[in-house]
Amino acid sequence: MINITKTYLPDKEKYKKYIDEIYENCWVTNNGTLVQKLEKRLAEYLGVKNIVLVSNGTVALEIAYRTLGLKGFVITTPFSFVATTSSLVTNQLLPIFADIEKNTFNINPKKIEKLITLNTSAILSVHVFGNACNVEKINKIASKYNLKVIYDAAHAFDVKYKEQSILNYGDISTLSFHATKLFHTIEGGALIINDDELVQKARYLINFGIKNEEEIPHLGTNAKMNEFEAAMGLCVLDDIEKIKNKRKSLIENYKKELKGLVQFQEQNNNATENYSYFPILFKSEKELLKIQKALNSEQIFPRRYFYPSLDTLEYIEPKQECKISRDISKRILCLPVFVELSLKEQEKIIDIIKDNL
């Protein structure tokens, strides 16, 4: 069986050494030594000022909203994983969808400004599949209307924009370190925040709002990363270049073999790629379903990322229609990409696609 991805597991003995350390000091959570070490190493590796590790990528978004004190409407993209939208709704924020660009799959800045009202507090954009969105245009709009900007960078680990981390843009960027991601901590996530005061607020918020033994200034939650997850992250980070290089070779081979047969995502020319996903776009949903069925019959399971378009969710009010997102979501398929995928397995995937187009 070949799934869309397979979790990268580092050397077991290296991980065990960290586990032995945890057992020795009995510090398993509450900002343990390994969490502190991972935060420091990640900040250095990614080229960011502050990073706050949390229990998952969804809660990273929720903490970002609370840290910035968002209220009312938030303009966002309908083409993303459902957590981008559901995290807004569960925090009493109303998602207002701006349609996407048909080639980059990212939010279209030209669609944002006309949606802004007096009740709008922020723009929540996504670097879809790690492809850097137009941060300069988005930030310009936000400055004009005094809006906060959050970038859901769940897929954008180690992406550079104009030679600096894409994570440095906006008020807060969030990451997901789920086991399916390029870099993972089993479950986990992070907030990247340049403002030191906001960093401190975020740290209170992930620990029930507690400042010290006598003060609880904020309404918080329990969003802390534990030591076992941090240990996994430290091990995976040691191997990240190997991981990226293997994924790069797979994606370059996909592109070479499928060029002219399907459409590829248009990449931001000012940004680097991190090879986290490989989406392909078919001419029609019918063509996609034919290919998917053929692959499934051979125990190969790509994924329809992202389907359905989030503006079609039943619990979203008012009803909104984003035609480009709905069209793309029906025709897009992400192919398997992971370190252990062999060239022979990849060739089988490619042959099946070619034979059924």
Catalytic residue positions? Answer: 181
Half-sphere exposure at residue 308, Cβ-oriented, CA atoms within 13 angstroms = 8
Do 300 and 351 meet the contact criterion of CB atoms below 8 Å apart? Answer: no
Half-sphere exposure of 250 (CA within 13 A, CB side): 27
Side-chain-facing half-sphere of 57: CA atoms under 13 Å: 28
Instruction: Note whether 170 and 150 are within 8 A (CB).
Output: yes
Q: Which of the 8 DSSP states describes residue 225?
A: P
Helix (H, G, I), strand (E, B) or coil at 55: coil
CB atoms within 10 A of CB 286: 11
**Closest of 195, 192, 200, 187 to residue 158, by C-alpha:** 192
26-29 contact pairs (CB < 8 A, 24+): 27/227, 28/226, 28/227, 28/228, 29/224, 29/226, 29/227
Distances (CA, A) of 232 to 42, 110, 186, 188, 225: 13, 41, 7, 10, 11
Tokens of 261: 């047969």
Helix (H) or strand (E) holding 189: strand 189-193
d(CA 122, CA 119): 10
Adjacent-strand bridge partners of 164: 161
Rg over CA atoms, the chain: 20
Could you give the CA distance from residue 224 to residue 299 in angstroms, rounded to a whole number?
A: 37
